[in-house]
Amino acid sequence: MFEAQEKEVNEPQLLAIEKTKEELEKLKQMDYPVSVIHEVLKAKKENVFLQMESIYRERLMEVHKKIKKQLDFQVEMSNLERKTVQRNLVDYVVSHVMKSITPEQEQNTMNLCIKELNNLALKV
């Protein structure tokens, strides 16, 4: 499994190296001055290096995106868990408070509120 992934990862580099070797053989067969051959080889090596750097940067960006996605997921999960716990706690407190209020207390509170409203209405 890892060999297949490694082959896939290294394939562009190996192809570039192979292509450079083939071009080197072609240059050796032609009668160019040695200085020209060295300049061409230097340019080819730099080109391969730039291609490898480009591939590296693409992979680095891909890793960055995947890690950011995982971290965003963890933050969302944490927020969701916190909201759920808070909602359950509020529901629990409200239900227990409502259970603790007796009908008599509720009636007394209603009567008191009505009296206060009547007093306020008289003042206005």
> For the residues of 81-123, what is the DSSP string, one character each?
HHHHHHHHHHHHHHHHHHHHS-HHHHHHHHHHHHHHHHHHHHH
- What is the phi/psi pair of residue 101, to 5°? -80, 120
pLDDT in tens, 71-120: 999 999 999 999 999 999 999 999 999 888 888 998 999 999 999 999 99
Ramachandran area for residue 101 (φ above 0: left; ψ -120 to 50: alpha; else beta): beta
Phi and psi for 30 in degrees, rounded to 5? -85, 160
Mean model confidence pLDDT for the chain: 89
Mean per-residue pLDDT, 29-52: 84
Q: Decide: 28 and 37 in contact? Cβ < 8 Å.
A: yes
CA distances to 6, 12, 40, 46, 122 from 24, rounded to whole Å, are 27, 18, 9, 14, 106
Mean pLDDT of 5-32: 78
Three-class DSSP category at 5: helix
Whether the model pTM is above 0.85: no
Q: State the pLDDT at residue 14.
A: 81
The separation between CA 58 and the C-alpha centre of its own chain, rounded to angstroms, equals: 16
Q: Which residue has the higher pLDDT, 26 or 79?
A: 79
- Whether 1 has a pLDDT exceeding 70, the answer reads no
Of the two residues 9 and 121, the one the predictor is more confident about is: 121
Residue of 106, 108, 89 lying closest to 98 (CA atoms):
106
